[in-house]
Amino acid sequence: MAGEKVVMPSTPEGGVMGLIEVDPSPVEETPAEFKEDYFPASAPSRTSTLGLGSHGPAYYLLRVQRYSSYAFTIFASFHIVNTSVIPLLTKSVSESNRYLLLTRPYYQSALTEPLLVGLPLMAHVSSGIALRLYRRHQTLRRYGAETHRDKKTIPWPAVSGTSALGFALIPLAGFHMLTTRMMPMYMHGDSSLINLSYISHGFSLHPFVSFAGFTALVGVGAWHITWGWAKWLRLCPTQATATGSRRHLVKKRRWYAINALSAVVAGLWLAGGLGIVGRGGKTTGWIGREFDELYKSMPLLGSIAW
């Protein structure tokens, strides 16, 4: 008010404290559903009758996406060990098949496979798509878009690199599951014959497509999984909490560290998958003839043997 004396903050020595430059809070890098941390609501949060709180749909979709990845990571770890690490240690496809047949029932049983593969995979993909659609709806609502022309002028939410890898992984993983699980089950009633020798047989029949497809599957999968876990652990470059010039350094170090770890995972996966299993050659005898018949029964998919 007029006439009042403005008192400047002072230092312990009695001098006047000057202006201090501080880094801005990274509001724009924060998803909309987490911005209440920066701008607390004036009214206290209420708890619903189910005890779920007053969180919006994005809060629960993110948690479905996160916790579903935990279950699928367990399966992926077992699968990589069986199909890559053990072949790399034994340097033999036939010897690795013994370990595969011993451990596969634990994660491909009628109970564990839906819990570790089917349901988590569906929940992870569907929650990611639903989250993107919800954010799009919130953006249109925020800008008051009503007509189709208005909606066309407002861009969709940016796709992160991890999400782009996830979208690319859907068809790659889908073909892999179709050729190694679904089609054998449909054509022969079970997939008991599907082992590492079956994959080696397919590599020898269609080497170029198989090697290219498997490399793409492993590369995209390794980078998506590694960057996804970095996000859950809040180790992504954009999640750095340092300020000033140190923030740029921390972001750079994290970017290199995550990509280096992704390369190590992909290299280990490919070393056993391509170096041992992919070069195992055709299977002879009656099993080899069964493999030939199985691939012939999949005229469009038989060339994708990874």
> 172-226, pLDDT tens digit by residue?
998 888 888 887 777 777 777 788 888 888 888 888 888 888 999 999 999 999 9
d(CA 95, CA 196): 10
- Helix and strand tally (H, E) in the chain? 12, 0
Partners of 16 in the β-ladder: 10
Angstrom distance (rounded) from CA 170 to CA 159: 15
230-255 residue pLDDT tens: 999 999 999 988 888 899 999 999 99
Say what the pLDDT of residue 38 is. Answer: 43
Residue 143's pLDDT is what? Answer: 82
Residues 6+ apart with CB under 8 A from 61: 127, 130, 131, 134
Using a pLDDT cut of 90, give the percent of the chain over it: 34
Q: Is 137 exposed, middle or buried (0-12, 13-18, 19+ CB in 10 A)?
A: exposed
213 contact partners, CB below 8 Å, separation of at least 6: 172, 175, 304, 306
Give me the pLDDT at residue 158, please: 87
Quick: pLDDT tens for 107-135: 777 788 888 888 999 999 999 999 999 99
What is the C-alpha separation between 305 and 198, in angstroms, rounded?
8
Phi, psi of 47, rounded to the nearest 5 degrees: -105, 135
Instruction: Report d(CA 212, CA 225) in Å as an integer.
Output: 20
Q: How far is CA 100 from CA 16, 86, 106, 265, in A?
A: 74, 9, 10, 20
Q: Which of 66, 58, 41, 60 is nearest to 137 (CA)?
A: 58
Q: Which of 63-72, 75-84, 293-302 bottoms out in mean pLDDT, i.e. has the lowest?
A: 293-302
pLDDT for the residue 233: 94
If you write DSSP's letter for every residue of 137-154 in order, what string do you get? HHHHHHHT--SHHHHHHS
- Whole-number Å distance between alpha carbons of 3 and 5: 6
98 within 8 A of 207, measured Cβ to Cβ: no
What is the tens place of the pLDDT at every residue in 24-48? 544 444 454 444 444 444 444 454 4
Chain centroid to Cα 251, Å, comes to 21
Q: Which residue has the higher pLDDT, 225 or 3?
A: 225
Give the distance from CA 193 to its chain's centroid: 30
Q: Is residue 301's pLDDT more than 60?
A: no
The more confidently predicted of residues 192 and 167 is 167
Dist. CA 91–CA 300, nearest whole Å:
31
Q: What whole-number distance in Å separates Cα of residue 121 and Cα of residue 289?
A: 33
